[in-house]
Amino acid sequence: MLALFKPTGAPGLELAERPDPVVGDGDVKIRVLRTGICGTDLHIEAWDAWASDTIAPPIIPGHEFYGEVVEVGSQVCDVQVGARVSGEGHIVCGNCRNCRAGRRQMCIRTQGLGVNRDGAFAEYVVIPESNVWVHQEPIDPDLGAIFDPFGNAVHTALSFPLVGEDVLITGAGPIGLMAAAVARHVGARFVVVTDVSEPRLALARSMGADLTINVTESRIADAQGSLGMREGFDVGFEMSGHPSALPEMITNLNHGGRVAMLGLPTTSIDVDWAKVVTHMLTIKGIYGREMYETWVAMSAMLHTSTWLSDAIGSVITDRFPADRWQEGFDAARAGTGGKVVLDWSTISDSRES
């Protein structure tokens, strides 16, 4: 098969022939039709400090995907050949305390698809049956490819009750944008999104944000005045990882405010912990998706809301054939658009013809 391959610990990837993945008794082999490009993939391609500390080449990266099941292992019970599927990229041990208690997203031995084992930037990928998400209703392949990051957005947005609440989202990257749409869908009163990219702020407005703030020009406190808010935001989603975002969010929260924090900081953050205590704030870390309640929720919401489905689909702003992967990576790295999707069916179709 053809795959995007990291042969050694150095910058770059190469589109190369690799052996087809082997199907174990409990595994499912999937013909990859679409993949999304994630920030993790950009780190691996650039071979930065995080990648050099985390990744052990040779490896095929990629963990956001949609495809068709072409083979199942002898012990697979519920997934059928021909099913159209996405995949949960966190592969858990099943035996630690959290796994046994049904908290698989907190497994202490999690392996990441495309990080700790070969991933989905390839014509075929193999994952355990328990990691396969079968789409029971037809779904656009591009949208199916971004169920992983959409799940991050849903996990973040549904961490706290939102009906009638005022929501502040710092960071209008693809996951922040999707979280804005979910907050609007489930009944938030005001949704305010901050960023430094005008194109991304425009996307946020199209996805239901009541107000967007370019933090290089305006302050969050100004937004409260323009919206007639008197007591600060009730819920915050910190999606940027920028060291100034969380302190600024805390400053603009109501007493008893709650923060779901998905953005990964690369430096330490100076937090006013006295304010966290005296204002009785809650800060919750978010990593990945709840397995598999988040998947149930996002499928149900998409299948019952045409508006939400269209909004989430609009996050995909760039599409490239897989053999033009470098253009896709460049578009993703530019940081001004939404999700970038690679079409792997063009490679498979050309090889079959």
The residues assigned a catalytic role are: 40, 43
Other CB atoms within a 10 A radius of the CB of residue 219 amount to: 14
Return the exposure string of 39-74: e unless at least 16 CB atoms fall within 10 Å of the residue's CB, then b. Answer: bbbbbbbebeeebeeebebebbbbbbbbbbbebbbe
* Residue that is written with structure tokens 């949609």 in the block: 66
* Alpha carbon distances (Å) from 346 to 13, 20, 33, 63: 19, 18, 8, 19
Spacing of C-alpha 47 from chain mean position: 21
